Amino acid sequence: MATAQSAAAGDGAFLSLRGLRKVYTDFVAVENLHLDVPKGELIALLGPSGCGKTTTLRMIAGLASATAGHVMVGGRDITSAPPYDRDMGVVFQSYALFPHMTVAKNIAFGLQMRKVPRAEIDRRVAEAISLVRLNGMEERRPRELSGGQQQRVALARALVIRPSILLFDEPLSNLDAKLRDEMRTEIRDIQQRLGITAVFVTHDQSEALAMCDKVAVLNAGRLEQFGSPIELYEHPANPFVASFVGRVNRLPGTAAGTTVKVGAHDVILPKPMTGAVEVMVRPHRIALGGPSDTAPGANRVTGTISQVAYAGDLVQYGIDVGGTRWFVEQQTTAARPPEVPGTPVSLSWRVEDTLAFPAQG
């Protein structure tokens, strides 16, 4: 049984998860999860499929029971409270709109279930429709709306009940890339204007970094790291976080002090290490130059371009460095066409941009 101390919310936290655990028969979906979310912040639960992020969200919402641990909101333990007594709004991946109801009636449904007076329902529905920019669409049904419009209805329905916490379960995964970018900006803007505490589940690292105050990276049911987007990207706690939050070149090497041997090249590390290590360098932090160019104060290796992919705003290069494939990304310019395969090049990057971790296994 959890002690009072283990169940207590973290200092300054509005939503706290204390030792949260979920087991399905012989499968551990979430293991000993501790998380503190200050009031008014938007956090992401980020990780690959099966990492436990949606299970965690469902335990917060009361849609799944916790095997162990506590869910605290404003100092109140709601672990055993039913969903309707948790004061939370949920926006689902599938939108979950009633197809036979109009936009206005979908939004009003939660208020009607709470026995809110008719005049108050009409006023709050009108406010919610204006907030999500659906004016003039009140009498349309879901089949008459685009994916983005349906998502706005789902958001308005969650907001109209004025919840203390807003939960998002991969709400943008069904939208195209352009609409997804627009919706994430709108969601963030509304969340900040209302000052509402929110938890956003996603497997898209760019979405998590762009939208959220903090990001919890989960893997196999465990929390790998929790921090701001900058902290996770610039100072990952381990190789999993480094490779999941952004792209990296992963290179085996042997370290002795601040020097690590990577293939035939010596790479300088920001801090000393010893033994087998894994060196990581982000592709966009690497500069391409001529094979004889020098880069004082920086790490430098040489190789030959083997692959070129033009992606509009970026050119992505695959480069053979002594039999090892490296990847480099450069912004495109109209004045300079991409390099071509077979071109000898040098790769240079700041010592501070070199990540290194003890080799695993």
CA 133 to chain centre: 26
- Which amino acid is it at 260? V
CA end-to-end span of the chain:
35
Q: What is the pLDDT of residue 3?
A: 36
Q: How many CB atoms lie under 10 A from the CB of residue 176?
A: 11
What does each C-alpha distance from 182 to 64, 187, 213, 226, 313 come to in angstroms?
31, 9, 18, 26, 18
- Tokens 């207590």 sit at which residue? 8
Query: For 324-343, b where at least 16 C-beta lie within 10 A, e where not — what string?
Result: bebbbbbeeeeeeeebeeeb
**Phi–psi pair at 9, nearest 5 degrees:** -70, 155
What CATH number does domain 247-358 carry, 3.40.1000.10, 2.60.40.10, 2.40.50.100, 3.40.50.720? 2.40.50.100
Q: Where are the alpha helices (DSSP H) in the chain?
A: 4-7, 53-61, 103-113, 118-131, 147-159, 177-194, 205-211, 229-234, 239-244
SS3 109: helix
The alpha carbon of residue 275 and the mean position of all alpha carbons in its chain are separated, in whole angstroms, by 33
| Cβ neighbours of 143 (radius 10 Å) | 9
Q: What is the pLDDT of residue 129?
A: 94
CA distance 54 to 63: 11
Q: How far apart are CA 81 and CA 194, in angstroms?
A: 25
- Least Cα distance to 330 among 310, 351, 346, 300 occurs for 310
State the Cα angle at 48 between 46 and 52, rounded to 5°. 70
Are 280 and 355 within 8 A, CB to CB? yes
Please tell me the predicted confidence (pLDDT) of residue 361: 65
How is residue 213 written in tokens?
Answer: 């105050």
Average pLDDT of each block of 10 consecutive residues along the chain (361 residues)? 44 91 94 97 96 96 96 96 93 88 94 93 94 92 91 92 94 83 89 94 93 97 97 96 94 95 93 95 95 85 96 94 94 88 96 94 65
Matching fold, domains 4-243 and 247-358: no
Question: Which residue reads 């956090």 in tokens?
Answer: 43
Q: Check residue 75 and report its DSSP letter.
A: T
Domain residue ranges of the chain, discontinuous segments joined by +: 4-243, 247-358
Q: Which of 161, 158, 131, 132 is nearest to 145 (CA)?
A: 132
Nearest to 163 by CA among 10, 39, 32, 336: 39
* Domain 4-243 annotated CATH 2.60.120.10: no
> What does the alpha-carbon distance between residue 352 and residue 190 come to, in Å, rounded to a whole number?
37
